[in-house]
Amino acid sequence: MAGFRPPHDAGSSRRDFLRNGSYSIALVCTFGTTESLKGPSVQTSAKLQTSAARRAQFSSPFTPFARDLPIAPELAPVSGKNGVDVYDVDIKEGLAEILPGFETPIYGYEGVYPGPTIRARKGRPAIVRQHNQLTFDSNVHLHGGYVPAAHDGHPMDVIAPGASFDYTYPNEQDAAFLWYHDHAHGRTARTLYYGLVGTYLLHDEREEELELPQGEYDVPLVLADHAFNKDGSFRYAENVDLGFRGDTMLVNGAVSPRMAVQRRIYRLRFLNASNARSYELRLGNSRQMLQIASDGGLLEAPVARSSFPLHPAERIEVLIDFRSFKPGSEIVLQNVAADAGTTKSVMRFDVVDGGGAEEARMPRGRMRTLEKLPAPNATHRWDLSLLTQGGVQWQIANRGFDPNRIDVSTRLGTSELWQWHNPSNRVHPMHLHGMLYRVVERSSGVVHPGERGWKDTVGVLPGEDVTVQPWFVPYEGRYVFHCHSLEHGDKAMMLQLEVTK
């Protein structure tokens, strides 16, 4: 397969649809040394643009908070006729400025990492035309979206190299922080690692009535741990059991960045886009954050938290009120998970003066009423275990993924209890496509109020049983559910659900 090369069309008209791009560089980072790269088609052919003297400084540990937080560009529709927004996206190779003096080869939507943000509105459908300009199959899954099965990005429904597909997104669900990513079977650990990740912010009226922060005060934050080769390319080593762990924290494609914040309320949308790392996020001095939403949208009421876990593919949205801080204050967001290692410093908020009168407010009391689920009419127990005989494979209920087998059939509009039983010593973030569920019970203790809203991914901890109640709406068809620890899902911790009328 072809190696990376610089994009030849950086000045093309499509680029004009990207707004808010602000990728600056100024950082020192540590590099790994030994692992060989095993990614698809990634030959580290990017030209080096640094002198030997400049490279030498990169052998020192990276300095966090030296680069401003990049904000992913926002994608503008190419058409908005007949109440439908049409977007045009090239899936292609690109070069990202992640480390100073280096260009890191990536796969990217529009050739950027993270991919451009799509802002959609409830009741207004979107069509996203994805053009696969890579040399291998790709597809796009709108994670957390109510999407008809044919447009869901099922792992076997792929876009061949050179081909295109129009993904139709009805946008009929409530406001939520969704994201889109590659889902071609067996490749996701590499393709997401190399950059095929973007955010999709779905807004609605109810959310607007809450007068939450908007525009530049509503900020998606894409967290991922990475590692680097000496030439600045991403370093990847497959580990099917543990999953990949990087030694360097990236937020929106920058190493532990700093974000200048005015003395205002900010809405911060955290996405864990890591292959396999779970975070426990905490502000310095355990300052309070107000959680307002989880995967599937707003909670019934805000929940004050001094820290929260974030497993791969999960989203949590918080409000932080910076009005009580003096200009010059620096507030660090840390990963305090036991295995954080060198990913402890996630980012820093630098409080600056400025801004006008505050227009947003901190919600108090009820924000929404969650829909009542129908009574469950079946219970399934899904054991999560590692098969080590005859090769290493993660399984659900002693089965690996078989696209020709339906593992569970349900009726549209019904509900069941699904028990994830995890006797293994790994976390398994279990994700269901195309539908949402509620977390009913955790054997390790109570379900946190911040986890009682709509979810599409739940972290099942080692030794834990977690019961969720999916609601099989709104579409019939064939969907997958799988572990979102990407090496687990690729090999082959994934089953199929068929919803029928």
Among the listed residues 151, 421, 488, 491, the single contact to Cu ion using CB under 5 A: 488
Q: Identify which of residues 457 and 485 has a Cβ nearer to Cu ion in the complex.
A: 485
Region from 4-12, 101-109, 223-231, 421-429 binding Cu ion, contact rule CB under 5 A: 421-429
Backbone Cα Rg of the chain: 21
Site for Cu ion, residues 47 to 76, rule: CB under 5 A: none
User: Alpha-carbon distance 200 to 74, whole Å?
Assistant: 10
Q: Could you tell me the smallest distance in angstroms from the CB atom of residue 483 to Cu ion?
A: 3
Q: Of 159 and 494, which has the nearer Cβ to Cu ion?
A: 494
Which of these segments, 143-151, 176-184, 190-198, 484-492, binds Cu ion (CB under 5 A)? 484-492
H helix intervals, 183-270: 188-193, 205-209
Q: Does 275 bind Cu ion (CB under 5 A)?
A: no
Minimum CB separation of residue 269 from Cu ion in Å reads 24
In the complex with Cu ion, the residue whose CB is nearer, 89 or 313, is 313
* Coil, helix or strand at residue 174: coil
**Contact string 196-225 vs Cu ion (x = CB under 5 A):** ------------------------------
State which of residues 282, 428, 452, 455 lies at the interface with Cu ion (CB under 5 A).
Answer: 428
485 touches Cu ion by CB under 5 A: yes
Peptide bond connecting 293 to the previous residue in cis, omega within 30 degrees of 0: no
Number of chain positions touching Cu ion (CB under 5 A): 4
**DSSP assignment of 119-145, as one string?**
EEETTB-EEEEEEE-SSS-B--EEET-
Of 231 and 295, the one with the shorter C-beta distance to Cu ion is 295
**Which candidate, 430, 472, 463, places its Cα nearest to that of 444?**
463
* Cα 23-167-191 angle, rounded to 5 deg: 50
Q: What's the rounded Cα separation, in Å, for the pair 180 and 421?
A: 28
Mapping DSSP to helix (H, G, I), strand (E, B) and coil, where does residue 160 land? coil
Smaller CB separation from Cu ion, 276 or 435? 276
Residues in the chain: 501
CB under 5 A: which stretch of 282-290, 307-315, 415-423, 480-488 binds Cu ion? 480-488
> SS3 for 322-339, per residue?
CCCCCCCCEEEEEECCCC
In the complex, the smallest distance separating the C-beta of residue 471 from Cu ion, rounded to whole angstroms, is 23
Minimum distance of Cu ion from residue 273's CB (angstroms)? 16
By CB under 5 A, tell whether 254 contacts Cu ion: no
- Could you tell me the smallest distance in angstroms from the CB atom of residue 463 to Cu ion? 14
Q: Residue holding tokens 């990202």?
A: 96
Residue number, 305 or 488, with CB nearest to Cu ion? 488
Query: What is the smallest separation between the CB atom of 214 and Cu ion, expressed in angstroms?
Result: 36
For Cu ion, the closer CB: 368 or 482: 482
For Cu ion, which is the closer residue by CB, 27 or 240? 240
Stretch that binds Cu ion, among 192-200, 283-291, 420-428, 467-475 (CB under 5 A): 420-428
Closest CA to 145 of 164, 126, 129, 163: 126
Closer by beta carbon to Cu ion, 344 or else 399 = 399
What is the closest distance, in whole angstroms, from the C-beta atom of residue 422 to Cu ion in the complex?
A: 9
SS3 assignment, position 449:
helix
How many whole angstroms separate alpha carbon 362 and alpha carbon 490?
A: 41
Type of residue numbered 354: G
Query: Is 210:267 a contact under the CB 8 Å cutoff?
Result: no
Please state, in angstroms and rounded to a whole number, the distance separating the CA atoms of residues 155 and 213: 36
For the CB of residue 457, give the shortest distance to Cu ion in the complex, in Å.
11
Q: Is 86 left (phi over 0), alpha (psi -120 to 50) or beta?
A: beta
**Residue 250 to residue 255: CA distance in whole angstroms:** 4
CB of residue 380 vs Cu ion: minimum separation in angstroms? 17
User: Which CB sits closer to Cu ion, 138 or 485?
Assistant: 485
How far is it, in rounded angstroms, from Cα 15 to Cα 7? 12
Decide whether 267 or 428 has the Cβ nearer to Cu ion: 428
- Strand-strand pairing, 393-396 and 417-421: unpaired
Does 483 participate in binding Cu ion (rule CB under 5 A)?
Answer: yes
Q: Which phi and psi (to 5°) does residue 178 adopt?
A: -100, 170
Furthest-apart CA pair in the chain: how many Å?
A: 67
Minimum Å gap between C-beta 115 and Cu ion is 24
The verdict on 431 binding Cu ion (CB under 5 A) reads: no
Closer Cβ to Cu ion, 282 or 488, answer by number: 488
Write down the least CB distance from residue 398 to Cu ion, Å.
15
Query: Positive or negative CA dihedral for 323, 326, 327, 332?
Result: negative
Distance separating alpha carbons of residues 241 and 47, to the nearest angstrom: 34
| In the complex, least distance from residue 488 CB atom to Cu ion, rounded to whole angstroms | 3
Strands 141-143 and 297-305, bridge-based pairing: unpaired
The structure tokens 């992640």 sit at: 98
CA distance 344 to 347: 9
Query: Closer to Cu ion at the Cβ: 473 or 483?
Result: 483
Here's the x/- map for Cu ion, 375-414, by CB under 5 A: it reads as ----------------------------------------
Binding site for Cu ion (CB under 5 A): 428, 483, 485, 488
